[in-house]
Amino acid sequence: MNRADGIARHGRLPRSSPFGAAAKLVSGVVAVALVSTASVGAIAAKQVSDDLGDGVAIEGQPAPRSNGTRAPSLDAYEGGFNMLVVGTDNDPEQSAAFGERDATLNDVNILLHVSADHTNATAVSIPRDLVTPIPACRKTDGSGTAPAMAAQPINTSFGEGGLNCVTQTVQGLTGLDIQYSAAVSFKGVIEMSNAIGGVPVCVAQPVRDPYTGLDLPAGTSTLQGDEALAFLRTRHGVGDGSDLGRISSQQVFLSSLLRTVKSNDTLGSPARLYKLARAAASNMQLSQSLNDIPTMVQMGLALRSLPLAQVNFVQYPGTTGGTGVYEGKVEPTTYLADRLFAKIKADESFSLGADSTGIGSETSPSQPSAAPSAPAAPSSPAAPSAPAAPSSPAAAPSGGTASSGAPRTPSATPETIDGLEGQSADQRTCSKAFGY
């Protein structure tokens, strides 16, 4: 239902330039960065702290809890949290090879939810062309407030008021309170993929894209640096040539990234963890609430033991081919979005239906099952026990933690939400080349 010929282009780009999408490595990279910071205290906390800077003030989010003065705790983060990861397509330090742009767009918007009992997580990719209301936002230069808009592509919100405006927009769209926010540009993606040491990515057919310079043979290639960025930016090389196809292709990368990071080789290397932490701290804008090493250490501990089968990467449901304000854009599929965010608000795990991988990816021949593994809850928590979630755990107190109470028992048979596109992190998939 997501096939489209005419997703609108943005900015004033020459046709030879790749158009507006920061790599969607960001969701996985931030999860990686958080996991890596669990070892920061033992490696070089002072150096990483110096790299963090002041942090970005986000309306409604708490200030840092320690300003770097609190020693990292050995306990996992209590309760659940929501974190927004934004990828921007413009950076004063980026090469002209990425195209000339007269505005910075938030072409990547990924909302990560981790459940209060740390047994499941969902990363929702919001298409850059999704039409949604944008609230009035404070301008980043302090010159006043940008007016509210009733129906605009979500990727215009960064230009209206920076990371704060994107956060307010996503909160309005999803109905979730977001406790933490982060933004990364092209340069940050390159540096962090280098720090990881490469991610093995499967493509079902040769992928060639003259817009990004990507040229991959069929099979599995290990990508990092410029090549990883080119893969994550490619739209013309995968699926049906649309941004929606690119999202499902990039979930191939994100799932492999998470599997790589959770492997013993990655988590067992102090040198690689240190490089990753430095790369993240030096190349990302973090909200003031996230700009705190002890908080990140605790979040990393909560994420470290999360079962891969319990992590879902999903696309915010939407269709193309609409008219009026939706012409050339993405129109939300409201009934599916309501089901998705009802599950997230209730802190309940769910599984995806058969053939959910989307138009930019397919199940790997090495994993013949057509459907992702259902994220059935384990018999015991995957991480240290945490207080139970309130009736709406996403709307956590200002510190981001859930209220205390009796431990929650996850459902053994998660509901399947048919119609969502995505995959679980343990599902091995391959990107589909454009035209197949």
- The boundaries of the domain holding residue 418 are 26-378+410-431
Q: Is residue 156 part of a domain?
A: yes
pLDDT at position 275: 75
- Concatenate the DSSP letters of all residues of 166-177 into one string: HHHHHHHHH---
Q: Is residue 312 part of a domain?
A: yes
Q: H/E/C letters for each residue in 406-435?
A: CCCCCCCCCEEECCCCEEECCCCEEECECC
Q: Which two tokens stand for residue 372?
A: 């992702």
pLDDT at position 284: 85
Q: Is residue 395 part of a domain?
A: no
pLDDT at position 199: 92
pLDDT at position 58: 94
* Separation of alpha carbons 166 and 243, rounded Å: 19
Using CA atoms, how far residue 228 sits from 17, 189, 232, 267, 424, in Å, is 17, 8, 6, 21, 21
Q: Is residue 20 part of a domain?
A: no
* Separation of alpha carbons 346 and 338, rounded Å: 12
Q: Is residue 386 part of a domain?
A: no
Strand (E) or helix (H) holding 336: helix 334-345
pLDDT at position 397: 33
Q: Is residue 388 part of a domain?
A: no
Number of domains in the chain: 1
pTM above 0.75, yes or no: yes
pLDDT at position 392: 36
CATH number at residue 297: 3.40.630.190
Q: What's the chain's length in residues?
A: 436
| Residue 286 and residue 392 in contact, taking contact as beta carbons nearer than 8 Å | no
pLDDT at position 267: 61
| Residue 196 and residue 163 in contact, taking contact as beta carbons nearer than 8 Å | no
Q: H/E/C letters for each residue in 175-191?
A: CCCCCEEEEECHHHHHH
Of 180, 143, 188, 138, the C-alpha closest to 158 is: 138
Q: Is residue 132 part of a domain?
A: yes
- Block means of pLDDT (10 residues each) for the chain, 436 residues, are 44 35 40 43 58 85 63 72 88 55 82 93 95 95 93 94 96 96 86 87 95 94 92 92 91 91 69 74 86 78 83 95 94 97 93 91 76 38 34 36 39 84 95 92
User: Which backbone phi and psi does 409 adopt, to 5 degrees?
Assistant: -100, 115
Q: Is residue 384 part of a domain?
A: no
